[in-house]
Structure 1
Amino acid sequence: MLDKKNSNFQKWFKLIVLILGGGTIYKLAFLKDAFYVPMQQYMHLTNAQIGNALSINGTISSFGFIASIYLADRFSKKILLPLGLIGTGCIGLYLSTFPGYYGILMVWAALSIFNDMIYWPVLLKSVRLLGDESEQGRMFGFLEAGRGVIDTVVAFSALGIFALLGKGAAGLRGAILFYSITVIVVGVVSYFLLEHDKKVVKDKSEDVSDNKVALQNMIKALKMPQIWLVAFTIFSVYSVYCGLTYFIPFLKDIYGLPVTLLGAYGIINQYGLKMIGGPIGGYLADKKCKSASKYLRASFIVVIVAMIVIIMMPHQSMGVYAGMTMTLGFGAIIFAMRAVFFAPMEEIGVPREMTGAAMSLGSFIGYAPSMFCYSIYGNILDKTPGIGGYKHVFMLMTAFAIIGFIISSILVNIVNKRKQAEKQVA
C-alpha cells in the first residue's frame, strides 16, 4: 500500500514539473495572445506580418517534428526539456530589443526549434508514460488544465508589468523580459527535478543500440496508418484552434473592446479556458464516452453547429459582453478537444517503446496548420476589412471542423474493430 502511495505521489509530482514547463515555454511564441495590438503598434507589424511570423514558426516546427521522431526516443527528457526551456528564454532576451521585421521572422523560426523540435514531443511522451490506458484522458486533461493555470498566472503577471510600465513600448519590452527570465528559471529547475529516462539497451554498444532502436521506432510509426488518422484528427482541431486568435481583433474591430481589456480577454481565451476545457475534456473522454476518439467525433458536431450560429449572429447590434461570452464559450469547446486529442494514441495500440516517435509524427501532422492557417486568416482580414472578413474566417474554420468529423468517424471505426478483435481473442 505504501509503495502504491509513493508511486502515485511520484507520478503526480512529475506531472506538476512537466506542467510547469509546458505552461511557460510558449509564452514568447504566442506573445500575440495577450499583446496582439501592442505588437502591431510598437513592433510596427500588420495582421499579415504577424500571421507570417506564426506561419514560419509553424513551418519550421513541422520539419522539426520530423527530426523529433528520432530525437524524442534517443535522448533523455532530463536533457531535452531543460534545453528547450532555457533556449527559448535566451531567444526572448533578443526579442526584447525589438528587432526589425526580418529579425522577428528569425526569432519565431528559432523559437520553433526549441519549443517544438526539442521540447513538445518529449513532454507528450513523458505524460503518456505516466498513466495507463484508463488514465490517458485525465492525464492529458490535467496537463492542459495545469498549463492553463500557469499560463494565466504568468500572462496576467506580464500584462500587469505592461500596465505598470505605461502600456507602451517599455511595457511590452518589460513583459517580454519577464517571459524570458521566467522560462529560463523553469528550465534550470526542471533539470534538477527530472530524472533520466530508462535506457532501452544496456551493453557496451549502448549508443549504437539506442540509435538503432530510435530509427526502428521512427520507421514503425511512419508505417502505422492509425497514427496518421489520429494525426489528421489533431490537424482538424488545430486548424479551428488557430482561428481563436482572431477573436481578439474581432472584438476590437466589431465590438470596440479597449486594448487593456483585449489583453485580458486574450489571456482568458488562450490560457484560462485550458483550466475549464482540460478537466472537462478528460472527464468526458474517460468517463462518459469511454473513448477519446468518440468524444472528439461528437465534439466536432458541436463545433460545426456553434460556428454556424456565430456566423449568423447580428454582431453589429450586440453588446460587447455578449460577444465576449459567445467567443469564450466556443473557445472552451475547442480547448476541451485539445486536452485529449493525443489520447487516442493509446486506443489505437501504439507500443509504449515507440511513444516518442508516435507523438512526434502526430505533432508533425497535427500542428501543421500553424504553417498556413495564421497567414491565411490574417491575409483574409487584411484584404476584406470588417465583418465580412471575419465571417470568411469563421466559414473556413467550419470547413475544417467538417473535415475533422469525417476523419474522426473513420478513427472511431478502427478503434471499435480493434476492441472487438481483442474481445474475441480474450
Structure 2
Amino acid sequence: MTAQDKAKWFKFLILILGGGTIYKLANLKDAFYVPMQTFMGLSHTEIGLLLSANAIIATGLFVVGGLLADRFDTRKLIPVGLLGTGALGLYLATFPPFSSLMIVFCLLAVCADCIYWPALLKAIRGLGNDKEQGRLFGLLEGGRGVVDTLVAFSALGVFIVMGAAEAGLKAAIVFYSLIDIAAGVVTWFLLKGNHSAPIIGPKKNPLSNLMEAIKVPAIWVVSCNVFMVYIVYCGLTYFIPYLKEVYGLPVALVGAYGIINQYMLKILGGPAGGFIADKQFKSPSRYLKWAFLALLPLMVIILMVPKSPGYIYAGMAATLSFAFIVFSMRGVFWAPMGEVGIAPHITGSAFGIGCLIGYAPGMFAYVGYGAILDHFPGQQGYNYVFMAMMGLAVIGFVVASLMHRLVRSNAQVAGVQAQTAT
C-alpha cells in the first residue's frame, strides 16, 4: 500500500468516527423508543412530530449545506457540526418541555444535516474515482454501523446501570453528547492538513455551482431514488414496537433489538451492498433496482408469520432480513452520483439537492406511520404500515429502473465520445 493510499484510508477512518456518532441524539428513538414514551411522556405521534420537525429543517437546509461544502474547507465544517450537536444534547438531557424539544430537534438538524452531512459526503466522494464509489459509500455505511453499534450498546449499558429508568435515560443522552464533543475535537486535530484535492473544472462561486447543478436531470433522478429508499427505511423504526406489542418482546431486549435493527445491520448491509453492487452487478443503480424487488417477498413473510410469542424469533429474523436489504441499499444509494457523471466542481451542490429530495420523507413519514399506529391500535395498524412499505418498494423499483436506464445511456454516450476522440 502506497503512502497515498495509507493517507486516504486514514482520512476515511477519521470521517467514519464522526459519521457514526452525530445522529445518535436526533435518532434517540432507535435504542430508546419505549423509554422516550415512558420517561419523557411522548406518544407515537409526538415522537413522529419531533422527527418530522428535525427533517423539515434538515430538508430546507441541505442545499445551504451543499453551498457551504463547496465554499468552505470540510475539515472545519465537520468538527463544528459535531461540537454543536454535543452541546445541544447536554440540554436535551434536562428533559425540557415538548415545545423546547421541538427547538432542540430543529437545531440538531442545523448542526448535523446542514453543516456536517453534505461536507462529509463531499469528502468521501473525493477519496476515490468513479469506479470506487460503491465500495467507498458502502464502507462508509458499514463503518458508521460499527461506531453506531459500539456507541449505542455503550449508551444502553449506561441506561441499564443507572436503573433503566428516568435517570438512566438522562445519563445515556449525556453519554451521547460527550461522545459527539470528543469526536469533534479528535476530528479537528487528526484531519489537520488533510485538505481535499484541488477541484478540476471551471471555478465558479457556490451559487453558480448550485444553478448549474439544478439544470442536471441526472441529479434529480438519483435524488428521487434516494427518496424511495429512505421512505422505506423510515418504516424500519416500527419493527421495534411491533415486536414488543404483537410478539411480547421483553423490555430488556427492545433496546438491544433496536440497536441491531438500526446500527449493527449497517456493519453488514452497507459494505455488502457496496461490494455486491460493484463486483456482482457492476453497477450500484442496477443493484438498487433489484434490491427493491427483493423487499416484496420478505414483507409478505413478515405479514404471514403467526402472531404469538412462540414465533417471536421468526418475527425477529424476518424483520431483520428486510432491514438488512434496506441497509445494503442505503450503503450505495449515493454511489450513482458517480455513475451519472456529476462534475467534481458541483459535487457539494449535487449532494445538497440530493439530500433535499432524498431525505424529504423524514418530514412526513414518521408522522404518517405514527398516526396510522395511533389511529389503528395493534396488529391492524402495523399491517397498514407494512403494506404501505410494500407499495413504496414497488414505486422504488420503477424509479431505480429509470435511473439505471439513464446510467446506461450515459455510459453509451461516454463510449461514443471516447471512440471519436481516438
The yes-or-no answer on 1:264 pairing with 2:256 is yes
Which residue number corresponds to residue 371 of structure 1?
363
The yes-or-no answer on 1:83 pairing with 2:80 is yes
Which residue number corresponds to residue 42 of structure 1?
39
Which residue number corresponds to residue 107 of structure 1?
104
Letter in 1 for 2:13: I
Answer whether contact 2:298 2:321 (CA < 8 A) is retained: no
CA drift of 1:314 comes to 2.6
Which residue number corresponds to residue 140 of structure 2?
143
Letter in 1 for 2:62: F
Distance 1:403 1:79 in 2: 39
Which residue number corresponds to residue 48 of structure 2?
51
Distance 1:367 1:304 in 2: 22
Distance 2:206 2:227 in 1: 25
Letter in 1 for 2:377: P
| Stretches (4+) displaced over 6 A | none
TM-score (norm 2): 0.96
Letter in 1 for 2:6: F
The yes-or-no answer on 1:324 pairing with 2:316 is yes
Answer whether contact 2:63 2:349 (CA < 8 A) is retained: no
Which residue number corresponds to residue 385 of structure 2?
393
Q: Which string of whole-angstrom CA distances, capped at 9 and with x for unpartnered residues, describes residues 53-109 of structure 1? A: 001101110001021231110111111100100000000000000011111111111
Percent sequence identity over aligned pairs: 52
Correspondence for 1:193 among 178, 190, 211: 190
Letter in 1 for 2:209: N
Give 5+ residue unaligned stretches, structure 1. 202-208
CA drift of 1:43 comes to 0.6
- 1:177-188 equivalences under 5 Å are 177-188=174-185
Q: Which string of whole-angstrom CA distances, capped at 9 and with x for unpartnered residues, describes residues 26-60 of structure 1? A: 11000010000110011100000000100110111
The yes-or-no answer on 1:16 pairing with 2:13 is yes
Distance 1:412 1:153 in 2: 36
Which residue number corresponds to residue 173 of structure 1?
170
Correspondence for 1:237 among 223, 226, 229: 229
The yes-or-no answer on 1:275 pairing with 2:267 is yes
Give 5+ residue unaligned stretches, structure 2. none
Which residue number corresponds to residue 356 of structure 1?
348
Letter in 2 for 1:310: I
CA drift of 1:260 comes to 1.9
Answer whether contact 2:302 2:315 (CA < 8 A) is retained: no
Which residue number corresponds to residue 65 of structure 2?
68
Distance 2:291 2:402 in 1: 15
Letter in 1 for 2:46: Q
Letter in 2 for 1:120: W
CA drift of 1:138 comes to 0.6
CA drift of 1:133 comes to 1.3
Distance 2:172 2:236 in 1: 22
**RMSD across aligned C-alpha pairs, in angstroms?**
1.4
Against the structure 1 CA distance between its residues 256 and 294, is the aligned structure 2 distance closer, same or farther, given a 3 Å change threshold?
same
